[in-house]
Structures are given as C-alpha cells and as structure tokens.
Amino acid sequence: MKYLSYLVVFFLFFVACAEDKPVQDESTEVQTETSQSGQDVLQNLREKALDENDRSGRLKASLKPIQEAFSASEAAMPDLEGVEVSIDDDCILRIVNHANGNIETRVDLNHLDPKGFSLVPDATPDEFPGVRVQTLESAPLVEIYRNGELYTKDNEIVIKLKDRSAVERVTPVLLQTMMICRGDI
C-alpha cells in the first residue's frame, strides 16, 4: 500500500509536467529582449567612450579607480586621509596624502618598469596589502615630498590599500595608465 501511494504521486507529477506549455516560445522572447538590451548597452558604451586621440582624458579617466580605492580605504587605514591622485599630460603621477602632514609621492610613469610589479603582503593583522612597482633599472626616480619640500627619492612606488580586492582592482589600472603613457594602447 505504501508503494502504491508513492507510485500514484509519481504518476501525477509526471502527468502534470507533460501538460506544460512548450518552453521554446518563452526562450525566444527572452532572447529578443536580451539582444535588444545588449544593443542598448553597446550604444550606451559607444556614447560614453573616450576618444582614442584624447590622451589627457584617457589618463585622467584611468586614475578614477585608484582615487576611488584610496577614498574607500581611508576609513580602515589611519595613515590615509584626504588622498588626492592626479596625473598631468607629461605622465607625472602625484599621490598626495594629508594624514601626517602633506606627503606627496611623485613619479613619471614612463620611468616605472612594466615588469617590476610585485604584491606587498599583509602578513599580520595590523598590516595592509599593496602593490609595489620598481623603476627602470632601479633608479631613484620616485620623489617623496613632505610639506612641499623634497624629502627623499626611492626606486619604487608602493600603494597600500585596505584589502586585497582593492589592490587587485588598482594593479591593472596602474599598468594600463603606464601603457597609455608609453603609447602602447
């Protein structure tokens, strides 16, 4: 008797599934809507795209994710406050941190080695992860200014952020900006 009730339930389930409408009509509608919205998205991207010949605009736009990452990291990192990221037409990158005075890191992106990237680990809970980029031939071309005066020169730039996902977003952006400066893209 127990098996008979299971058999009846299975049979009713099978019959109910066999009477469904064909799925083909629904998928056609979905495909049409998706392709139309895909065309709209593509048109929207074309309208917002920067002109390939606008090097200055491309440079400034490429730094937006870096600025956003610093802004998002400020609450978690006591050594960051009011960080400003900028670049000029000569590819001079400036990162100004107002946490401990006016600390400005300045480097010509053409002097950074595209193969000189390495990650800065956060081995202990009080450390933050980051990315390090060496200069070409390890020359001391990264200038650190304190309150407007040259404090020191270094052979690498180090960018530390609140978490690894922020570093993962910033690293390709920095490489892309370097490539724009070199005329590679």
What are 99-143's pLDDT values in tens digits? Answer: 988 999 999 999 999 999 999 999 898 899 999 999 999 999 999
Three-state secondary structure of the chain: CHHHHHHHHHHHHHHHHHCCCCCHHHHHHHHHHHHHHHHHHHHHHHHHCCCCCCHHHHHHHHCHHHHHHHHHHCCCCCCCCCCEEEECCCCEEEEEECCCCCEEEEEEHHHEEEEEEEEECCCCCCCCCEEEEEEHHHCCCEEEEECCEEEEEECEEEEECCCHHHHHHHHHHHHHHHHHHHCCC
Say what the pTM is.
Answer: 0.74
What are 152-173's pLDDT values in tens digits? Answer: 999 999 999 999 999 999 999 9
Instruction: Please compute the mean of the pLDDT values over residues 8-22 and round it to a whole number.
Output: 49
The more confident residue out of 1 and 149 is 149
Domain assignments of the chain as residue spans, ordered by start: 2-48, 55-182
